Structure 1
Amino acid sequence: MMSDYSRDALRTAVLYGLLSILWFMACDILLPLFVDEPARLAFCHQMAGYAWVLLSAVTIFVARDRLRKIIGGEAHFERQQDDYDRLRLAEAVFDSTREGVLVSDAQGRIVHVNRAFVDITGYQAEEVLGFNPSTFKSGRHGPEFYRQMYHSLLSVGQWSGEIWNRRKSGEIYPQWQTIRSVMGDDGQLKHFVAVFSDITAIKRSERELAQLIHFDALTDLPNRLLLTDRISQALTSARASKRGCALLLIDLDHFKNINDSLGHNVGDDVLKAVAERLKGLCGNETTLARPGGDEFALLVKNCSQVVRAAALAQQVSEVLKAPFVIAAHQLFVTASMGISLYPGDAQSAEQLLRNADSALFKAKSEGRDCYALYTEELTAHAQQRVQLAGELRQAIEQGELRVFYQPVHDLITRSVCGVEALVRWQ
């Protein structure tokens, strides 16, 4: 579509062309009436051309302001059209982005929001224009948080971080937000532009991942990783308060038989039922965990006395005595327990776990369905067992083991009824 400036320029050009034609036609008609000699007539035609050029120049000079407006206006219009196209493009990007955008003036009054802002917050544009962004505060951040935010905006011109705000529905939710201050040509603050994303889904995924990393999926109890961390925290607190703590490792006796005979589904249900019973023994200072398999752990803060730890082990045995009814099966479950104490037995989380495991092995060796306290002798025995296992493996590789068979006789029939194999380490 032709602009007003283009139409004015076209009219001027057409008018100039018509006047030029009329001028020269008039000269061709009138000059022969006054001049008969061809030489003088040619001269007069030439002078008429010069006169038209001079008249055109005078006309252009007289109408210079009008011509400047026409020529300059067209360029100005083209610049305006380019600016308008850029604005339309920016507006399209502004409204199509998935991030919420909020623009406020230097006084903090909201002057513009995009479509994503409406979708995320639930507020319509007309409901927030003219208001301060503090309308969306969640109450989870104190005054110091906002002071640091505004200090960053005024000192470095931007701020980025996680912030919790409130939707129109009242729900508070997390955002990742970037705010920039916009300066005018005069160097004065003109606007603030905030771009934010709703990170609720990311936070949910982080919680689910943390749950998978730190908790047992079957019983929803802390796993070995989280238990180790809880032990470290308990030891730190115990050192500060000069108190102790106790760790009980609980292993269900012959649990493999349940899995082998009734299936893993029944075994899983037994583990969940055991976990529920053990939770009844937990107070505010007790952590129940499932390090793995058929093993549970009880971490007790402010417990440095053997008597108290032994009493808790006895309570575990008592709470497991009642039969478990799982899938129409009546099952009896007993447990072996190993106890290790801080500061008497260990000084670190790893050492406390290792010593409780040594005590658990002792309890199993003594017939199961009992508990054992850690002693230094258990560590020596454990080291001997590890050393013996290594030496036996080396003996097998080097062929140092010999097998000898001796007959077994039936005294009644006086016949050989079998053989006995003996392995000797030579």
Structure 2
Amino acid sequence: MPERTDQLTLNVNLQSFGQRPAAWQFGPTTPDTLISPQHWIESARAAERGLLDAVFFADQPALHNPDPRPGNPLEPITLAALITAATEHVGVIASASTTYNDPVELAERLLGTDVVSGGRLGWNIVTTYNQAVAGNFGLDAGPDRVTRYRRAADFVDAVTAVWDGAASGGDYRHSGEFYDIAGTTALGPSTQGHPVLFQAGGSSQGRDLAAQHADGVFTVELTLPRAIENYADLRRRAAASGRRDVPKITPGLSLVIGSTVSEARRRFDDFEVRVPDGYALRSLSNVLAHDATTLDVDSPIPPEVLDKPWDPDSHPASAGYRLTFLDWIQERRHQTIREILRDFGGYGSRIIVGTPEQIADDIELWFRSGAADGFNLMIDQFPHGLTVFADEVVPLLQAKGIHKREYDARTLRGAIGLPERIAVH
């Protein structure tokens, strides 16, 4: 494998009780666990124990049925302030929507949190395809996919204009397709200048947005050859946009860890048996754009379902997510739906059910093959699964020379290997 002189970028997605839908049934939980500061602090400290670069929070600004998977009721930037106050090194990447925020207000809220954290904040730029969110903001429906991404590009330019103003005396101005702003901010730059920009989106529009703006990219990759191809494509797009640097690319990776393969599989099965019937099929339905609960699980997916035309504008789910999974499913079209569902257990990312050694070897292979700069980890259950990763997988990665042995950067920007910005006062 080719030699790399850099090291892994490792983040962990703190998904309420864990990535497994039934994670809430393991360990002590109460009705108020997810609004307890200690729950989040304990998991963040486990990430710091493993020398991870950041913890990541998605945003869920709409109510949903908590059965079988309770969502996170706390807003991500609030959690960022909590966690950075209770830890010393680990960064926090907070999602915030370009569709349902004001750019000036969000710019100040993010920069203010970055300032008080000592430069440990990242912003995950999302456009929010979930139509259920629109009603929470007094709208009948959200914008279509093309409009969302056009607005997002202008929104990010407006936000960064405010941040540039903060670093150069306070005045800012931006005039674009959707936003025309001018004013003065009382904030100065943070230790890292301003929050690091992350983006998650595999569609063509999402890739262009990432290539132009992102310092880090969350992706969905299921096979090594396609991951290598997409990695190269995103780097080409970044170069074509005139950038001298390239974003760090971190696919999602779901993990269920056991001391032996059989132990890991028993743990996986113990999680899955507690999930209500139909949960995985409903997740598969989003990928197929077809109600999978109407299909025979002991037969392959019918060709008319697998090959039917798909209109991304009439199907609001992530286009990149769907196309990646559909490509993966095509390779398994001879398998029964029941067999596919077992390997589909990442519910949005590739999954490894195995030993620390298998996981470390797999991470090294993808890293050295040019498929990824690191991973956004999806841990089965918090904090236990994350502690096991820190104690049993991280030492193996360190022995391979691809994971840090200590925090040697003061900011999130420095931790993921980007040039430190010099704050201007």
Q: Same fold (TM over 0.5)?
A: no
For normalisation by structure 1, the TM-score amounts to 0.18
More helix by share: 1
Bigger Rg, structure 1 or 2: 1
For normalisation by structure 2, the TM-score amounts to 0.18
More strand by share: 1
